[in-house]
Structure 1
């Protein structure tokens, strides 16, 4: 028995001493191999379900206690850095929509319309999207936590934290701080098991979907993914360079590796909030700022969603033989960017905002919902890349705003950005 216990401790130590990224890469390979060798082992899917479920379950509680604790301690520092983060989120979402117009005009796509998709709630206009967003702000706080409504969670956490700051004593404030630390520790435990979750998610994707989606909708998927990669690898680094005046790629690649990779497989910005917060801590960012900006980014930093809405809408217009003028394209970019910011408040995410954008060109709801059906067919890859772009961008711009303030005040940027060892 002692030998068994000793062996388990040795294995656990080697596991914990190995780089998390290397462990995730190994899990990814094992998941893919198992899907090819024994696709019937569906019990492996539960590993992925448990991992995503745990992240989704703990993320709302994490956001609430961290934000409330930070405000209750009287250490909130939502200064210009926070304003810069929000500006970058909104700017890049609009740029993503505009970039999609350009790539769609350079490589126009036509669709083979499938059966119309169905949904209980489909927004008919931008007003519906904004109404949902505003309603979420004042939703019941318990419902907000249970449903992962991060706009509502942020609002109630801020109010609770400010109230506790004014009326709470040192004991209650310390209890909040200890609760925040305890939830953060639980998150670290969950993230430490990510390799097993990734293995299950990869197994599910490879075993269930194969390569069929690359045939009929291959060119459309290539345009979507290509535009997202252009945004991730060219446009976002350029914006970071403008602010920091240094090589942006160490930051970009680190965020894609440590945030984008898990987001790709979980396909949930909400589930990736704990991962992003852990990465922000590694990057040395101010917890009082990123504890608010990261969950906010999961709601309004939607570059990938803006790309999806714009490209799919223009593909529908091309299929119907419509000529899209430059003013109409600009208006579509604005509508896609604003709609994408409200995507998390709409059942079905970005795909169900396509009918709203299609209405700009007078495309009927029946046709638009067929386009949504096409989106669901290619969604296995489209949604994965979209989420990776969105989630990695949350950390990239939170870090950019922080490091920009460092540069302005004469503080040295981190060594991994300056190239120093």
Structure 2
């Protein structure tokens, strides 16, 4: 048994998730009477995600802010501005696409007392009340706005702490990340249960629904990578952006697609930056930082899935609320965990703006893991390749000003 588990764990997660999806469909079609025994796996997986998500957001954001140190004078201001603009633009495109191609999801429970905001003032009121919530109750109640606010405040306060204190925080961050990795390693079993229940309840139509969602997500990511980001590069560098964009996609994006980790792709991006003769003082900082905060792909995932949830529940999202959602998606994407599927755990934060309960939001997270075989790979490829794109664009812009 131990050897079998060892061989199973040696298979990459993407392959194991594909196996889980296939097994879930086959079991639902052949032994539907086993519904109670198999669907419990999906329920347990969702509950585990719900349990770890609040503390994950809290610890990671505190550690990211507290451990940040200022470096020597570099081109980082321009790089950071590009990271922010690009992530915001990605969220904007995703929201627009969601209005043009509205998508609904098959959720286990949609008959809830949803209290969608009636207008912009109610959204701001809810935002302010959640921000000043007690930090302990915010974590216990999965109030992600309160969690994010207190994490930022504590992170800023702890910037002045000594190195040993910051080391403890970093250790907690590594520990919670490890716990998330353990939970995600169980994703094939959880997804098998979720797919079993979806096929058992709605038939194979649920799978076509997932296919449509994948098309919208991946199509939006391609549009951002090949249209939006090149326009941003051209605006600041005033040169043909496509040689840089295509080189980054080929030499960084393809590797990131298979590793599904921006952090694991840092050495690849470093080597590419050196190959492009970029300033080492800049890329030595911008590339590792970009692996943490440059998350255009995550902003797309958060926006599209949140809007799909709103469409499913019949929540009307007006223009001003959509703008707030876009900004929130961009901000929360910058705090996405570096583990596979990390952006999915921030969907409840965006959903909370629309009065959507944590129970419903975590079901959407589970759907995200089902389509994550493709979605997360494309998301990581977009995130990681643009670290190089915007680092180079900032340097090109500086050269243009000097000439």
In which range does the TM-score fall when normalised by the shorter chain?
Answer: 0.5 to 0.7
Aligned to 2:342: 349
Q: Residues 94-153 of structure 1, C-alpha deviation per residue, up to 9 Å, x if partnerless? A: 11111111000000000012589xxx999522342354466668563376389669xxxx
**Alpha-carbon distance between aligned partners in 2 of 1:346 and 1:373, rounded to the nearest angstrom:** 15
Q: Does 1:370 align with 2:360?
A: no
Q: Does 1:109 align with 2:109?
A: no
Q: Is the 8 A contact 2:261 2:338 kept in 1?
A: no
Residue aligned with 2:107, SS: coil
Q: Does 1:278 align with 2:297?
A: no
Partner residue of 2:246 out of 225, 229, 253: 253
Aligned to 2:382: 389
Aligned to 1:187: none
Q: Is the 8 A contact 2:341 2:372 kept in 1?
A: no
Residue aligned with 1:109, SS: coil
**Alpha-carbon distance between aligned partners in 2 of 1:87 and 1:268, rounded to the nearest angstrom:** 23
Aligned to 2:82: 88
Q: Is the 8 A contact 1:96 1:303 kept in 2?
A: yes
**Alpha-carbon distance between aligned partners in 2 of 1:313 and 1:99, rounded to the nearest angstrom:** 14
Partner residue of 1:229 out of 222, 225, 235: 222
> Judging changes above 3 Å, is the alpha-carbon distance between structure 1 residues 369 and 255 closer, same or farther for their aligned structure 2 residues?
same
Listed as ranges, the matches of 1:92-171 within 5 Å are 92-113=86-107, 124-132=143-151, 138=158, 140-141=166-167, 144=170
Aligned to 1:55: none
> Judging changes above 3 Å, is the alpha-carbon distance between structure 1 residues 115 and 286 closer, same or farther for their aligned structure 2 residues?
farther
Q: Is the 8 A contact 1:148 1:270 kept in 2?
A: no
Q: Is the 8 A contact 1:130 1:342 kept in 2?
A: no
Aligned to 1:78: 73
Q: Residues 252-293 of structure 1, C-alpha deviation per residue, up to 9 Å, x if partnerless? A: 011111111111111111111111111111111111111111
Aligned to 1:361: 354
> Judging changes above 3 Å, is the alpha-carbon distance between structure 1 residues 322 and 115 closer, same or farther for their aligned structure 2 residues?
closer
**Alpha-carbon distance between aligned partners in 1 of 2:253 and 2:8, rounded to the nearest angstrom:** 23
The offset of 1:43, in angstroms, is: 5.8
Q: 4+ residue stretches of structure 1 with deviation over 6 A? A: none
Q: Is the 8 A contact 1:133 1:345 kept in 2?
A: no
The offset of 1:221, in angstroms, is: 0.8
> Judging changes above 3 Å, is the alpha-carbon distance between structure 1 residues 47 and 352 closer, same or farther for their aligned structure 2 residues?
closer
**Alpha-carbon distance between aligned partners in 1 of 2:284 and 2:238, rounded to the nearest angstrom:** 26
> Judging changes above 3 Å, is the alpha-carbon distance between structure 1 residues 337 and 248 closer, same or farther for their aligned structure 2 residues?
same
- TM-score under structure 2 normalisation? 0.63
Partner residue of 2:391 out of 398, 405, 409: 398
Q: Is the 8 A contact 1:123 1:352 kept in 2?
A: no
* Unpaired segments ≥5 residues, structure 1: 1-39, 50-67, 150-203, 411-421
Aligned to 1:336: 329
Q: Is the 8 A contact 2:341 2:369 kept in 1?
A: no
Aligned alpha-carbon RMSD (Å): 3.5
Which structure is larger by alpha-carbon Rg, 1 or 2?
A: 1
* Unpaired segments ≥5 residues, structure 2: 14-67, 111-138, 159-164, 176-187, 196-203
Q: Is the 8 A contact 1:309 1:354 kept in 2?
A: yes
**Alpha-carbon distance between aligned partners in 2 of 1:115 and 1:375, rounded to the nearest angstrom:** 17
Listed as ranges, the matches of 1:41-80 within 5 Å are 46=10, 77-79=72-74
Q: Is the 8 A contact 2:262 2:338 kept in 1?
A: no
Aligned to 1:295: 288
Counting matched residue pairs gives 286
Q: Is the 8 A contact 1:224 1:308 kept in 2?
A: yes
